[in-house]
């Protein structure tokens, strides 16, 4: 086993818990803006300071107490868009020693019902837009006693009407409905102060359900100490100035945004600017003058493509290509003029953007290098929900495109391999590792061994500089008859670097003799359909595969390949749901009695439409 420990680069004032983090930030930065947001994209900006946030959190916590929900360990779920009220609910639960249960707002209500019942949730904060659907499943929510709507001004008319009726009735079945304004006011007016039991930072206080089918998704239990440890670890390797601005784009229910874009920003006294939606990101960068953006590869890829398109239109592609190595050389001499030379590009990104943090999947190294050359440092991180989540990353002192850097300070990483040149499972140990899986001791024992190592299921290796590179997943690894191993993610990364490729999926198909055929589904940008010049789409597809095959050993060669214009099924952090996609493809191939050779070069969308039309004719439907 090959191990590496993280290094501390900055001395910090460590926090013991989320509660301590809030207290510390309010004491240090009371008048600094903590959140900037709008009710609607066209509205004026609302700004809240750290002192105002603290007062609102205390009022909400006290308001819950007046309704009989002040006991330690009660379960409070929150589901909705990123919002100031979402943050209030989260912090009120944490500082009240309750257990927070953040849920994915994109889940269907039947899935939400399953998770609320699995978690035995007492209190639910929810976006008012889901009122009709919530009432539909309400009789089945056996433990839910209090429901508090958020973002009521964004609700559609039908939902707003249903909400108004629910608030007027006050109770539906065994669940009481109360507006957020009312519960805040009750907290402010209350003379009886809530006595919060002493906090045990090691007790589980966050229950996060991982992606997957809701019935089988694992519930990860994190303590306030886990989350505080990850904030401390990040603060020891990267630094931001008080008042810096971060744009909140990724969903707050996900630990990546929650720890990095919420708690860590607060630790440094930063300002969280809540994006008005994906369509408004560039506009928000300009309006809020954002310094930092946390995102997934698809987001940074999109920025990169827009910049390249703009350069082509202005006929400046060659000029930028010439100036990039020049500024690189000047930097080596201690002269940094990137933001002056490339100010036109940077101005289109708000003018102040200097840092990007990318996670959830691998980002094209060329995208990282391009932005670094023009003055924006994009660092990649690695981690899992079970590790609070960040366990490794590039930082202020360690940076290499294509790598996820070193372990964070206070964290140990290990590669379960006896050969440094061979990938092995990534193991993680330290105070960021979860307390276990919710009501699943067997899964917990399987994931965390007797020595405290968390087994990630990811594969990776350390390079000569001690940098961690992720090579794939144990579950997605393809093992050939010869025993040789193929990591689909490695080949997908090569495919995705090509122009017009939005995404790809590499997997194993069976041939007629039961052998393995390496296959690739390539998703092209729909703009490619508008291209009338040579090469044709079929020629472009073949060229991509040939170039990829030349760059890998022959046993990794892609033999069956086809394309689509339809986006693949993804999680809320835009990871492809590999198992879902492969299962759909295998069902289609099997049902239509196709083999891997018949798929080569084909448009899978057309094949699916043709098969569907044929089935309709056979069944007598028009």
What would the pLDDT profile of 450-476 be if each residue is shown by its tens digit? 999 999 999 999 998 889 999 888 788
Q: Alpha-carbon distance 501 to 496, whole Å?
A: 6
| 41's tokens | 């994209």
- What percent of the chain is predicted at pLDDT more than 70? 96
Can you tell me the mean pLDDT for 518-538?
A: 81
Per the DSSP assignment, residues forming a β-bridge with 520 are: 506, 561
End-to-end CA distance of the chain: 62
Residue 441: count of CB within 10 angstroms of its CB: 9
C-alpha distances (whole Å) from 43 to each of 248, 423, 549 are 18, 51, 52
Can you tell me the mean pLDDT for 46-62?
A: 96
Confidence label for 420 from pLDDT (cuts 50, 70 and 90): confident
Q: Which of 411, 337, 442 is nearest to 6 (CA)?
A: 411
Can you tell me the mean pLDDT for 366-393?
A: 96
CATH fold group of domain 1-8+31-37+224-310+347-469: Rossmann fold (3.40.50)
pLDDT of 214 strictly over 50: no
Q: Which of 109, 159, 161 is nearest to 139 (CA)?
A: 109
Q: Alpha-carbon distance 298 to 363, whole Å?
A: 8
Confidence label for 113 from pLDDT (cuts 50, 70 and 90): very high
What would the pLDDT profile of 226-281 be if each residue is shown by its tens digit? 999 999 999 999 999 999 999 999 999 999 999 999 999 999 999 999 999 989 99
Instruction: Give the CA radius of gyration of the chain.
Output: 26
- What percent of the chain is predicted at pLDDT more than 90? 73
pLDDT at position 616: 62
Cβ partners under 8 Å of residue 362, min gap 6 = 297, 380, 402, 470, 489, 493
pLDDT of 282 strictly over 50: yes
| 618's tokens | 């056979």
Q: Which of 611, 588, 603, 579 is nearest to 524 (CA)?
A: 603
| 230's tokens | 């990850």
- State the virtual CA torsion across 78, 82, 83, 88 in degrees, nearest 10: 40
DSSP annotation of 190 reads: -
Phi-psi group of 65: left, alpha or beta (phi > 0 → left; psi -120 to 50 → alpha; rest → beta): alpha
- State the virtual CA torsion across 197, 202, 206, 208 in degrees, nearest 10: -160
What would the pLDDT profile of 65-75 be if each residue is shown by its tens digit? 999 998 878 99
- Measured on CA atoms in the order 243, 246, 247, 250, is the torsion positive or negative? negative
- State the virtual CA torsion across 443, 446, 451, 454 in degrees, nearest 10: -70
For 431, counting Cβ atoms within 10 Å of its Cβ (0-12 exposed, 13-18 middle, 19+ buried), the class is middle
Domains 1-8+31-37+224-310+347-469 and 478-619 share a fold: no
What would the pLDDT profile of 156-202 be if each residue is shown by its tens digit? 899 999 999 999 999 999 999 999 999 999 999 987 766 666 788 99
For 610, counting Cβ atoms within 10 Å of its Cβ (0-12 exposed, 13-18 middle, 19+ buried), the class is exposed
Residue positions counted in the chain: 622
Crossing angle for the helix pair 578-591 and 604-619, to the nearest 10 degrees: 50
Pair 113, 91: CB distance under 8 Å:
no
Q: Which of 621, 403, 386 is nearest to 394 (CA)?
A: 403
Phi-psi group of 538: left, alpha or beta (phi > 0 → left; psi -120 to 50 → alpha; rest → beta): alpha
Crossing angle for the helix pair 50-66 and 180-189, to the nearest 10 degrees: 90
pLDDT of 532 strictly over 80: no
- Give the global pTM: 0.84
What CATH number was assigned to the domain covering residues 478-619? Answer: 3.30.300.30
What CATH number was assigned to the domain covering residues 48-199? Answer: 3.40.50.980
C-alpha distances (whole Å) from 294 to each of 259, 351, 433 are 11, 17, 22
| 243's tokens | 């008042």
Cβ partners under 8 Å of residue 594, min gap 6 = 588, 607
pLDDT of 590 strictly over 70: yes
Q: Alpha-carbon distance 242 to 270, whole Å?
A: 5
C-alpha distances (whole Å) from 242 to each of 46, 239, 272 are 20, 10, 12
Q: Alpha-carbon distance 493 to 107, whole Å?
A: 29
- Average pLDDT over all residues of the chain: 91
Q: Alpha-carbon distance 364 to 82, whole Å?
A: 27
Q: Alpha-carbon distance 404 to 381, whole Å?
A: 5
Per the DSSP assignment, residues forming a β-bridge with 431 are: none
pLDDT at position 213: 45
Q: Where are the domains of the chain?
A: 1-8+31-37+224-310+347-469, 48-199, 478-619
pLDDT at position 484: 79
Q: Torsions phi, psi of 520, nearest 5?
A: -140, 130
DSSP annotation of 513 reads: T
C-alpha distances (whole Å) from 98 to each of 71, 75, 90, 191, 452 are 7, 6, 10, 22, 26
């Amino acid at each position: 086993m090959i191990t590496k420990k993280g290094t501390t680069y900055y001395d910090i004032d460590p926090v013991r818990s989320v509660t301590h983090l809030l207290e510390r930030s309010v004491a240090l930065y009371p008048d600094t803006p903590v959140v900037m947001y709008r009710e609607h994209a066209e509205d004026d900006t609302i700004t809240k300071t750290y002192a105002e946030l603290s007062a609102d959190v205390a009022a909400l916590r006290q308001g819950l107490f007046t309704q009989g929900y002040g006991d330690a360990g009660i379960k409070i779920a929150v589901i909705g868009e990123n919002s100031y009220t979402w943050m209030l609910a989260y912090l009120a639960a944490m500082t009240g020693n309750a257990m927070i249960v953040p849920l994915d707002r994109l889940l269907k209500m039947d899935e939400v019902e399953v998770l609320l019942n699995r978690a035995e949730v007492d209190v639910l904060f929810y976006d008012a837009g889901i009122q009709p659907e919530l009432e539909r499943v309400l009789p089945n929510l056996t433990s839910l006693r209090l429901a508090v709507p958020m973002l009521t001004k964004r609700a559609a008319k039908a939902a707003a009407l249903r909400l108004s009726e629910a608030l007027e009735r006050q109770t539906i079945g065994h669940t009481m409905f109360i507006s957020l304004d009312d519960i805040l006011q009750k907290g402010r007016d209350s003379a009886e102060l809530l006595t919060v039991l002493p906090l045990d930072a090691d007790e589980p206080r966050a229950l996060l359900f991982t992606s997957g089918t809701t019935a089988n998704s694992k519930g990860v239990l994190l303590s306030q100490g886990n989350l505080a440890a990850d904030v401390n670890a990040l603060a020891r390797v990267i630094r931001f100035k008080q008042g810096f601005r971060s744009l909140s784009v990724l969903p707050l229910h996900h630990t990546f945004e929650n720890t990095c874009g919420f708690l860590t920003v607060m630790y440094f006294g930063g300002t969280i600017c809540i994006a008005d939606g994906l369509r408004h990101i560039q506009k928000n960068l300009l309006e809020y003058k954002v310094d930092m953006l946390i995102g997934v590869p698809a987001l940074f890829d999109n920025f990169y493509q827009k910049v390249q398109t703009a350069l082509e239109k202005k006929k400046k592609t060659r000029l930028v290509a010439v100036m990039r190595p020049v500024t690189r050389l000047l930097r080596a001499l201690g002269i940094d003029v990137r933001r002056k030379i490339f100010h036109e590009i940077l101005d289109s990104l708000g003018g102040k953007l200097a840092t990007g943090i990318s996670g959830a999947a691998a980002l094209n190294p060329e995208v990282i290098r391009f932005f670094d050359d023009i003055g924006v440092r994009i660092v990649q991180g690695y981690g899992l929900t079970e590790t609070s989540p960040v366990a490794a990353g590039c930082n202020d002192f360690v940076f290499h495109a294509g790598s996820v850097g070193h372990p964070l300070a206070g964290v140990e990483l290990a590669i379960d391999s006896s050969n440094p040149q061979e990938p092995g499972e990534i193991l993680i140990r330290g105070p960021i590792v979860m307390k276990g899986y919710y009501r699943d001791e067997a899964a917990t024992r399987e994931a965390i061994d007797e020595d405290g190592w968390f087994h990630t299921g990811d594969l990776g290796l350390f390079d000569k500089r001690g940098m961690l590179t992720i090579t794939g997943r144990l579950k997605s690894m393809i093992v050939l008859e010869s025993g040789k191993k193929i990591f689909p993610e490695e080949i997908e990364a090569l495919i995705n670097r090509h122009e017009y490729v939005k995404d790809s999926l590499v997997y194993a198909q069976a041939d007629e003799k039961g052998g393995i055929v390496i296959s690739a589904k390539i998703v092209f940008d729909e703009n490619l359909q508008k291209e009338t010049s040579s090469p044709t789409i079929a020629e472009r597809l073949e060229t991509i595969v040939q170039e990829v095959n030349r760059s890998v050993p022959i046993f990794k060669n892609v033999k069956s390949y086809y394309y689509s214009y339809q986006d693949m099924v993804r999680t809320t952090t835009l990871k492809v749901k590999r198992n879902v996609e492969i299962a759909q493809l295998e069902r289609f191939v099997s049902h239509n009695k196709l083999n891997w050779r018949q798929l080569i070069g084909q448009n899978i969308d057309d094949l699916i439409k043709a098969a569907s039309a044929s089935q309709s004719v056979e069944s007598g439907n028009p």
